[in-house]
C-alpha cells in the first residue's frame, strides 16, 4: 500500500492522472506557467525563479519531462526547456472533454 491502484481503471483515466499528478505541485505548476509566459525556451534560470534548491528544481523538471509536458534540449552547458505543445494541446482536449458535461445544480446538494 501507499501504491495507487491503477488496475480496474481505464487507460484514459490513468493517462490523465499521470498528467494531473505532474501538474499538482506548486513548483511544477509554476514552471509550466513560467514556460507558458516566456514562451521562448529558457535554461535553469528557473532555479532563480523558484524558492527551491537546484537539485530539487532539476527533479521537478524531470518529472514534467517524464509526464511529457515539457521538453528539454541540451545547448552546450545549458538546457533549454519548453512546453511540449503537442502534448499540451492534447491535455487541453482531455480536460475540455472532462469539463464538457454541464453540471446542473442538484436538489439534494
Residue 46 or 83 with smaller CB distance to its own copies: 83
13 three-state secondary structure = helix
75 three-state secondary structure = strand
Q: Considering CB distances under 5 to 8 angstroms, the limit depending on partner class, which of DNA, its own copies, none binds residue 85?
A: its own copies
- Residues numbered 20-59 forming contacts with its own copies, rule: CB under 8 A: 20-21, 23-27, 29-30, 32-33, 36-37, 39-41, 50-52
Q: Considering CB distances under 5 to 8 angstroms, the limit depending on partner class, which of DNA, its own copies, none binds residue 78?
A: DNA
70 three-state secondary structure = strand
Which one, of 87, 48, 94, lies nearest residue 71 by Cα?
A: 87
**Residues 44, 88: Cα–Cα separation, whole Å:** 21
Query: Which of 37, 55, 102, 108 touches DNA by CB under 7 A?
Result: 55
Amino acid at each position: 500500500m501507499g501504491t495507487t491502484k491503477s488496475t480496474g481503471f481505464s487507460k484514459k483515466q490513468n493517462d490523465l492522472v499521470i498528467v494531473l499528478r505532474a501538474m499538482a505541485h506548486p513548483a511544477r505548476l509554476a514552471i509550466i506557467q513560467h514556460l507558458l509566459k516566456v514562451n521562448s525556451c529558457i535554461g535553469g534560470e528557473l532555479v532563480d525563479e523558484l524558492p527551491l534548491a537546484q537539485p530539487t528544481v532539476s527533479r521537478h523538471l524531470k518529472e514534467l519531462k517524464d509526464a511529457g509536458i515539457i521538453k528539454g534540449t541540451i545547448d552546450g552547458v545549458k538546457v533549454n526547456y519548453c512546453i511540449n505543445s503537442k502534448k499540451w494541446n492534447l491535455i487541453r482536449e482531455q480536460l475540455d472533454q472532462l469539463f464538457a458535461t454541464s453540471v446542473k445544480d442538484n436538489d439534494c446538494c
